[in-house]
């Protein structure tokens, strides 16, 4: 089969495209004919060696795929050959990645794609959608009526957070560029704070007079000095981006508010957490609320270029689908 892979950790151009042996499914695995995959920032972290995870070289990159079941292991039930399925947790933890014509997927990490959902559109939002759910619900304790602030709300993960929070009945305050206000409101944001105009923290305080129950920074700025002062009683800050940030934490102000700061990475999510997120993602895919703002398709052979574009900041709100056809 053809695959995008690395033989050692390195920059984007270290990704090769060529022939590798086809994987063979074990008793608890499903073999999937990959239709489309994509590239996420976490894929670049793993490819470069920035994230410590077991890797066997040659290593197929990529975590997300949509495809059809080609074969099932002897112990697998619930999947039939030909069904369209998806996965968003390959390419780390000792598992080979998704950027190949065929992939071996543990059955417990595989989910059916709802009927009528475009595979190329879906694959681009699987990672943002699951990340949003895990950050807001699993780690943030999201509840209806909560006031949620999303920094970087027009980005891929930020937009998914606005959708998930709004669907849960939260009051969502988005922080974004003025040109993205209409987009954020279309996703479900109740208010949009201009990130370019003066003191964002002061503007957020005016937009959230009762305090912030849940504060998430999808842009990775991690301004804890400003965020802590915005929290309502027992408010929570969830860290999910900004790998190398070292913010100052006003610890005294945090504890007198009964506040908390929690970090999470989707790479560390449990099988049960991923399955719960997948169920929610499927619901949002099926009703059309979770979708990419803009996407384009490249051949699988352009995986290295997709990684380069990600790291160079050239995608900015766009998502790329990598097709095996």
Cβ–Cβ under 8 Å, residues 306 and 299: no
pLDDT reported for residue 245: 87
- Give, to the nearest 10 degrees, the angle between helix 156-167 and helix 271-286: 80
Cα separation, 7 vs 27, in Å, equals: 28
The pLDDT value given to residue 44: 95
Domain boundaries, the chain: 2-124+292-323, 132-266
* pLDDT class of 85 with cuts at 50, 70, 90: very high
**Tens of pLDDT, residues 295-308:** 999 999 999 999 99
Segment 111-160, tens digit of pLDDT: 999 999 999 999 999 999 999 999 999 999 999 999 999 999 999 999 99
Per-residue DSSP letters for 131-167? HHHIIIIITT---TT-EEEEETTTSHHHHHHHHHHHH
- pLDDT tops 90 at residue 287: yes
User: If you ran DSSP here, which 8-state letter would residue 197 be given?
Assistant: S
**For the residues 243-249, what does the mean pLDDT come to?**
87
Residue 94: alpha-carbon gap to chain centroid: 20
Tokens read off for 48: 């470069």
Residue 325 pLDDT: 86
Q: What is the DSSP string of 65-91?
A: EEEEEEEE-TT--S--TT-EEEES--S
Q: What is the pLDDT of residue 51?
A: 87
**Among the listed residues 52, 35, 64, the one whose alpha carbon sits nearest the alpha carbon of residue 156:** 64
In the chain, DSSP finds a helix count (H) and a strand count (E) of 10, 16
How do residues 51-81 score in pLDDT, each as one tens digit?
889 999 999 999 999 999 999 999 999 999 9
Q: What's the half-sphere exposure (Cβ side, CA atoms, 13 Å) at 67?
A: 30
What pLDDT score was predicted for residue 17? 98
Position 55 scores a pLDDT of: 95
Q: What are the structure tokens assigned to 156, written together?
A: 């891929």
What residues pair up with 318 in beta bridges, in sequence order? 294
Q: What is the pLDDT of residue 90?
A: 97
Q: Does the domain formed by 132-266 have CATH 1.25.10.10?
A: no
Identify the pLDDT of residue 316. Answer: 77
| Mean pLDDT (the chain, rounded) | 96
Is the pLDDT at 247 greater than 80? The verdict is yes
Q: Which pLDDT does position 267 carry in this prediction?
A: 86
Residue pair 62/87 in contact by the 8 Å Cβ criterion: no
Residue entry with tokens 């793993």: 46
- Percent of the chain whose predicted confidence (pLDDT) is above 70: 100
Whether the predicted pLDDT of 258 surpasses 80: yes
Neighbours of 115 (CB within 10 A): 7
CA dihedral 165, 289, 101, 317 (to 10 degrees): -70
Tell the residue number behind the tokens 């949009």, with chain if given.
Answer: 192
Mean pLDDT score, 249-276: 94
pLDDT the model gives residue 12? 98
Segment 189-233, tens digit of pLDDT: 999 999 998 799 999 999 999 999 999 999 999 999 999 999 999
2-124+292-323, CATH topology level: Quinone Oxidoreductase; Chain A, domain 1 (3.90.180)
3-state secondary structure of 215: strand
Look at residue 27 in the predicted model and tell me its pLDDT.
Answer: 98
Quote the pLDDT of residue 242: 85
Cα separation, 233 vs 236, in Å, equals 9
> Which residue from 160, 218, 220, 213 is spatially nearest to 184, judged by alpha carbons?
160
Q: What is the mean pLDDT of residues 26-48?
A: 96
pLDDT at 317 over 80: no
Contact between residue 129 and residue 281 where contact means Cβ atoms under 8 Å apart: yes
């Amino acid at each position: 089969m053809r695959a995008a892979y690395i033989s050692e950790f390195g920059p984007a151009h270290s990704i090769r495209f060529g022939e590798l042996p086809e994987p063979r499914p074990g008793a608890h695995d499903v073999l999937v004919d990959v239709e489309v995959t994509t590239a996420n920032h976490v894929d670049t972290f793993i490819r470069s060696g920035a994230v410590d995870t077991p890797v066997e070289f040659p290593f197929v990159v990529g975590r997300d795929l949509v495809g059809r079941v080609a074969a099932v292991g002897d112990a697998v039930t619930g999947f039939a050959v030909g069904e369209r399925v998806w996965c968003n947790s390959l390419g780390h933890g000792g598992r080979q990645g998704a950027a190949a014509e065929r992939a071996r997927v543990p059955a417990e990490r595989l989910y059916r794609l709802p009927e009528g959902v475009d595979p190329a559109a879906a694959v681009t939002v699987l990672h943002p959608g699951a990340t949003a759910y895990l950050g807001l619900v699993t780690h943030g304790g999201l509840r209806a009526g909560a006031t949620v602030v999303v920094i970087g709300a027009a980005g891929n993960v930020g937009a998914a957070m606005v959708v998930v929070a709004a669907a849960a009945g939260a009051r969502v305050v988005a922080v974004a560029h003025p040109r993205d206000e209409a987009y954020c409101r279309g996703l479900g944001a109740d208010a949009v704070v201009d990130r370019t105009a003066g003191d964002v923290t002061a503007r957020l305080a005016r937009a959230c007079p009762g305090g912030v129950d849940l504060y998430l920074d999808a842009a990775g700025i991690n301004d804890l000095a400003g965020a802590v002062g915005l929290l309502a009683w027992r408010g929570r800050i969830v860290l999910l981006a900004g790998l190398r940030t070292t913010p100052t934490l006003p610890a005294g102000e945090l504890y007198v508010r009964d506040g908390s700061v929690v970090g999470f990475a989707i790479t560390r999510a449990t099988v049960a957490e991923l399955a719960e997120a997948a169920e929610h993602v499927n619901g949002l895919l099926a009703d059309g609320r979770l979708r990419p703002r803009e996407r384009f398709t490249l051949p699988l052979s352009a995986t290295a270029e997709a990684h380069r574009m990600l790291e160079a900041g050239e995608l900015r709100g766009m998502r790329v689908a990598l097709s095996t056809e």
